[in-house]
Structure 1
Amino acid sequence: MTSAAAIDWRRDIDAAARRMRERAPHFLRKTPLWKLPGRALGIEVPGVELWLKLEHLQVGGSFKARGMMNRLLANEIPASGAIVASGGNAGIATAAAAQALGVHCEVFLPTVSPEAKRAKLRALGASLVVGGEVYADALAACLERQRESGALLTHAYDQAEVVAGAGTLGREIEEEAGSPDAVLVSVGGGGLIGGLAAWFERRSRVVALEPERAPTLFRARAAGRPVDVEVGGVAADSLGARRIGAFAWDITQRQVRDALLLPDEAIRAAQQWLWKELKLAVEPAAALPLAALHAGAYAPREGERICLIVCGANVDPASLA
C-alpha cells in the first residue's frame, strides 16, 4: 500500500472530482450546505455560525457514495464485480455505484447491521452475506471470498481512492463557501476525516469525534500507533471499525489536533434533537458533531464558523419516535 505521506492528496481529490463528473455525471448529488446562527441549534456563544453539510442526502444516504464510486471508476472491474464488507453504509454506497455502472456487487455485513440498511442493499440488487458480530468479522469473511472470486475489493475506509473520494466533500464545501474555521466530523475507520483533513490541511481546524464505546483514533493516539479496540454502542453499525485505517492515521497525525470522545447518551440526545427540532432523520453517527456542541466537548469561540458534517441517514424511522 502506498504511504499516505507520499500521496499528493489535493491533486488526487481534484482528480476524483473530475473523474466522477466526467464518467458518472448523474451519480453524485451536490448536497446542501445549510447555514444557521448558533442559537438555532442551541449555541448561545455570540456570533457563532453553524454550517450543516447535509451529506445524509447523498446517494445511498451517506458520504460513502463518493469514495466507492471513485474506487470503482479508478480500477478495472472484473466479471465477478465488486465486493465489500460494511456495517451498512459502505455496502449501500458500493451497491449503488455498482448498479449505476451495471456490475454485480456482493456485500458482507455483521449481525449488528440494521434491517433498514439490509433492505436498501436488497433493493439495489446486491448479494448479501450476514455473519459475525462486528465489522471486523464481516471484513475477514469478505477478504476470504475476494481471494476466491477475484472481485474488485472496495474497502469501507482504507484505500487511497476511497479517502480521495471522501475528500471531494471538503472540496465541495470550500467551492461553495470557502473554508470554515472548524469542521466537526465523526470517525469510525477514518475515511471521511482522512479525506477532509487532507483537503483542508490546516486552513480549517478539523476535529475528530468518536463514541466512547468505539474510540479507534483516540486509543491509537494513546498507544502511538493503530491498535484494535472493542466496539459497541449506539453508533456501532456505522462507526464500528475495530482499528483506525492506515491512511487516516497518517493524515490525522499531521493535520488533526483534536480527537474527542462522546457518550452514547449525548449522541442519542443529539440525534433526537435533530429530528424533533429540525426534522433531520439521521443515524447516530451523523449526530456526533451536534452532540459535541451540546455536551460541551467542543467549545465554540465567539464569531466562529463551524461546519457540522451530517454524514448519514440510514436509520430506522421508528427509532426516532
Structure 2
Amino acid sequence: MSDPRRLHIVAAVLTRQDGRILAATRPPGRSMAGRWEFPGGKLEPGESRWAGLCRELQEELAVTVRDGRPLIRLQHDYDRGPRVDLDVWRVTAWDGTLEAREGQRFDWFQPEALTRLDFLDANTPIVAAARLPDRYLVTPNVPPGPEWTDRLLRAVGQGSTLIQLRGPVVRDPRHRSLLREMLPRLQAAGARVLVNGDADLAREIAADGVHLPWRRASGLQGRPVPRPSLFGVSCHNGEELRHAEALGADFVTLGHVRATPSHPDTAPLGQDRFLALAAATRLPVYAIGGMTIHDLPELHRHSIQGIAAIRSLWPTPD
C-alpha cells in the first residue's frame, strides 16, 4: 500500500518486440525539464494502479495499453522536490501511434543505451530493472562437461538470457579455452553473461559483468565494474541489501526463499520475510532458493524482478 505522505507515481517501461525501450524527456515548463524519464504520472484518488497507468499513457502518448505487469516499486526523496512512491510497470502491448501530447521528446533505445541518458535521479534502479530479464540462470558448481555450451544455449532459448558462470568453469585456469569459446556464442544468442566473484576475469574475457557473493561484496566501498557492465550481489538480510545499494549494485539475489538441498543447515526466509525485505530495497530483486518459473506470476505481482535458479533453469541433457 502506498504511503499517503508520498506522491504515488505510476510509470511505464514500454518495450517493443525487438527489445528497444521507450524513454522521454521532461516537458518544457516542468521541473527538471529536458532530463529523461519513463512516461507516467500521479495516481488520482481512488484510481487503481492499472487504470492510472492506462490513463497516463493515453494522456501523454495517445496509446491504449493492452498488456503489462508490475516491474519494480521504490521510494525516492528529491532534495528540493517531492517524496515519491514510484510504481513502475513493463508494458509490452498497446494500440495507437505514439504522439508527444505534452511537448516532450521521446525515442526508442537499446537497453544498454539507457545507461548513457541523463535520467532523473530516481530512475537509476528503474533503468537497471528495464535492462534485466525475469530469469537468471546460475550454473552448477561442478566441472563443465563438453555439452555445457549447448545446454546454456538451450537455456537462453528458453528465456534465461542472464547467466552467472560460477565454480570450476571460472576458477580453474584449465577451463579458460572453454570459457573463451563459450562466451561469444552465448552473447551472440542474446545472453548477458556474468562471472561469479572475479571482476578482473570478467574484464579479461569481455563478460557482461560480475556477480559477487556477500563475503566479497562486504569489503567493497564501490562498484567493481563501471556501467553499463552489470553488477549483482548475493544478499540474505536487510543489512546486506542496504550495503548492496550503497555499492551501486544493479540488482541483487535474495534468499534462500525456500529450503534447498544445497543449503540444508540454513533456515529459509519464507515468502513473507522475503517480500518484506524485497519491498524495503530500491534494487531489482531476484528470488533464489527453490524457485521455478511457476513462481514468476506471483513474484511479478509483487514487483519482483524474477527468479534466480540452478536446477529449475538448467536444461537436462538431450
Do they fold alike, i.e. is TM over 0.5? no
Q: Which has the higher helix share?
A: 1
Q: Under a length normalisation based on structure 1, what TM-score does the superposition of the two structures give?
A: 0.26
Q: Which has the larger radius of gyration?
A: 2
